Amino acid sequence: RHVADFQLSIASIVENNSSDCLAQDLHLQAQQLAEQLKCDSVVSEISAGPGTVNFTINKELLAKTVLQQVWKDGSEYGVKSELFSTVPRQKAVIEFSSPNIAKKFHIGHLRSTIIGNFIANLKVALGHEVVRINYLGDWGMQFGLLGVGFQSFGNKEKLKSSPLQHLFEVYVQINKAAEDENTKKLAKDFFRKLEEHDEQTLSIWKQFRDLSIEEYIRIYKRIGVHFDEYSGESFYQEKAQEVLKMLEDKGLLQKTIKGTGIVDLSEKKDLSTVCTVMRSDGTSLYVTRQFLIFSFRDLAAAIDRMNKHSWDTMIYVTDKSQSNHFQHLFQILKLMGYDWAERCQHVSFGQVQGMKTRRGEVIFLEDVLNEVRSRMLQNMASTKTTKEIQDPMETAEKLGLAALIIQDFRGLLSSDYQFSWDRALQSRGDTGVFLQYTHARLYSLEQVHGNAQLSDVNVACLQEPDAISVLQHLLRYDEVLYRSSQDLQPKHIVSYLLTLGHLAAVAHKSLPVKGSAPDVAQARLCLFHAARSVLANGMKLLGITPVTQM
């Protein structure tokens, strides 16, 4: 039985739609309306159902329009849709990843990295200008400890060859002695010298920072991520003092009886909502940003970025435990007279439970990448078809990353989820490996049968229900991009691509190219080419590099 392509419910347009409006009345009205409506080149059939008017569209026109559009727009398919025609092109600053030097690159940093990268990719695809900023934890008392630790346990060769790991080891070792009075004093002295710009101390710190960034750049490259700017807390030392003075000058900084500095955020100015910004000993309340204790540096950084980039929107990608911090940050900026604070946005995400590598807890991003690659290689080795791959290591890496990203992006970003290696790396079901597998199969189809030419396609050969399902789904791609661009949630694109993968897999089985009449084979090749093209576009937006063999 034929199912309509579009349906109009009469109840939704009847004016006096009271519940006593009987079903038979609605049915009658549906019939009357259906009789008055005329078919045209797009709508090929109009009929009445129980209280509905059903529309069937011209399938040949559908096939022709979709295939031509995908072919013509290529990697910009969906982006050129009229849905985006009224959206102004803007400049966005996105701060993401932001690990702390000498500390663990935990799973929260990984989430921030892939989510920030997705948002940046999407904005660039839609024609916006994007500045990607990595705001490093590169300042603070921990560098006093680290400096002292390096004098005791440091090794220059190890620092050069694997800076992240070596600094972490040094930090762990010196932390064991952190309660010792002498160590405390030395650490304080080291950090004081840093703050006073003592040359020798600064050059040690600079070496820690520069070598760490070099290593980060190399690892980010493995996951296809880059930054336009490596910023950090160290940049805003002096500027933080200026912000403090501005708060004082504007009368926004109040002192409590205990001498703590607060900013009143309440509407009625009755101190019902306050943000504590300073300890009674005069230091800005600042441990690390993880602890959500207020930092003038974040205020200074926001103001500085506005001066430097004059952006239209600034997005911070961090976990949801920091939501209060950012709410306060934006409120204080507004009180300081910066109306652009309303164009700042915090994209928050939930926690991941249970991600461990074989070596135990995740300490470095590289551990996760190596783990997912080795597990993927193992899976590939146990399947029959893997032998002829040119670069199994690289393929395993791309498959593994796809697995991580799809598992992460399937739900709402703000929800916590339980991580599972087995589930993530499955080749069937709704996984990244399944998407890669589908892409590789469609790619090899084109390799075997040659590239289809759109010019000589007979669309009358694409009327089977499985072909129509793929075409109708391709038609909806722009709507999905639009939804993701509105709420910055990747899940709309993920579920769209998974459905596309399943529809293409079904069509691949039921609509063989091999052994079909030449014009049928050509038409089907065109259909599969379009499906693969859109699949690849969507995967790239998510931060996945499509593989061509596996």
Q: What is the pLDDT of residues 391-439, one digit of tens each?
A: 899 999 999 999 999 999 999 999 999 888 888 888 888 999 999 999 9
Position 279 confidence tier, pLDDT thresholds 50, 70, 90: low
Is position 325 annotated as part of the catalytic site? Answer: no
Q: Which of 38, 80, 91, 106 is catalytic?
A: 106
Strand partners, 7: 54
pTM comes to 0.91
Helix and strand numbers, DSSP H then E, in the chain: 19, 15
Mean pLDDT within 300-317: 97
Cβ partners under 8 Å of residue 5, min gap 6 = 55, 56, 57, 472
Quickly list DSSP for 63-93: HHHHHHHHHHHGGGTTTTSGGGTTSPP-EEE
Predicted local confidence at residue 280, as pLDDT: 61
Position 285 confidence tier, pLDDT thresholds 50, 70, 90: very low
CB 67 within 8 A of CB 525: no
Q: Count of CB atoms within 10 A of residue 310's CB?
A: 10
Helix, strand and coil in the chain, % to nearest 5? 60, 15, 30
Position 290 confidence tier, pLDDT thresholds 50, 70, 90: very low
Predicted local confidence at residue 381, as pLDDT: 85
Residue 68 burial (CB < 10 Å; 0-12/13-18/19+)? middle
Position 22 confidence tier, pLDDT thresholds 50, 70, 90: confident
- Sequence spans of domains, the chain: 6-57, 62-87+392-542, 91-250+294-353
**pLDDT tens digits, one per residue of 36-56:** 999 999 999 999 998 899 999
Lowest pLDDT segment from 271-285, 301-315, 446-460, 494-508: 271-285
Predicted local confidence at residue 453, as pLDDT: 78
Compute the mean pLDDT over every residue in the chain, rounded to the nearest whole number.
90
Lowest pLDDT segment from 26-35, 88-97, 303-312, 521-530: 26-35
Is position 103 annotated as part of the catalytic site? Answer: yes
Residue 104 CA, chain-centre distance (Å), reads 21
CB 422 within 8 A of CB 501: no
Predicted local confidence at residue 431, as pLDDT: 94
Dihedral angle over CA of 177, 182, 187, 192, nearest 10: 170
Predicted local confidence at residue 419, as pLDDT: 87
Q: Give me the phi and psi of 231, to 5 degrees please.
A: -100, -170
Q: What angle do CA 336, 322, 246 make, to 5 degrees?
A: 20
Residue 387 has pLDDT above 80, yes or no: no
Decide whether 62-87+392-542 matches 91-250+294-353 in CATH topology: no
Is position 166 annotated as part of the catalytic site? Answer: no
Residue 17 has pLDDT above 70, yes or no: no
Highest mean pLDDT among 10-14, 83-87, 166-170, 491-495: 491-495
Q: Which of 59, 80, 91, 109 is catalytic?
A: 109
CB 243 within 8 A of CB 299: yes
Q: Which tokens hold the place of 398?
A: 């791309």
Lowest pLDDT segment from 152-161, 245-254, 271-280, 436-445: 271-280
Quickly list DSSP for 190-248: HHHHHHTT-HHHHHHHHHHHHHHHHHHHHHHHHTT---SEEEEGGGGHHHHHHHHHHHH
Rounded Cα distance, 544 and 535, in Å? 11
Predicted local confidence at residue 356, as pLDDT: 79
Q: Which tokens hold the place of 82?
A: 């009229």
Whose CA is closest to 480, among 459, 465, 467, 497?
A: 497
Predicted local confidence at residue 452, as pLDDT: 75
CB 212 within 8 A of CB 167: yes
DSSP SS3 for 37? coil
Q: Which tokens hold the place of 499?
A: 């459905």
Predicted local confidence at residue 144, as pLDDT: 92
Mean pLDDT within 250-255: 88
Rounded Cα distance, 72 and 402, in Å? 27
Cβ partners under 8 Å of residue 266, min gap 6 = 272, 273, 274
Predicted local confidence at residue 493, as pLDDT: 98
Q: What is the CATH number of domain 62-87+392-542?
A: 1.10.730.10
Query: Which residue type does 312 have?
Result: D
Q: Which tokens hold the place of 53?
A: 């008017």
DSSP 29: H
Predicted local confidence at residue 14, as pLDDT: 76
Residue 515 CA, chain-centre distance (Å), reads 42
Regarding the domain with residue range 91-250+294-353, which homologous superfamily does it belong to in the CATH classification? Answer: HUPs (3.40.50.620)
**pLDDT tens digits, one per residue of 171-230:** 999 988 878 889 989 999 999 999 889 999 999 999 999 999 999 999 999 999 999 999
Name the percent of the chain lying above pLDDT 70.
95
Position 293 confidence tier, pLDDT thresholds 50, 70, 90: very low
Residue 364 has pLDDT above 90, yes or no: no
CB 507 within 8 A of CB 528: yes
Stated as kind and residue range, the H or E segment containing 345 is strand 344-349
Rounded Cα distance, 49 and 43, in Å? 17
Predicted local confidence at residue 429, as pLDDT: 87
Q: Integer distance in angstroms from the first to the last C-alpha of the chain?
A: 39
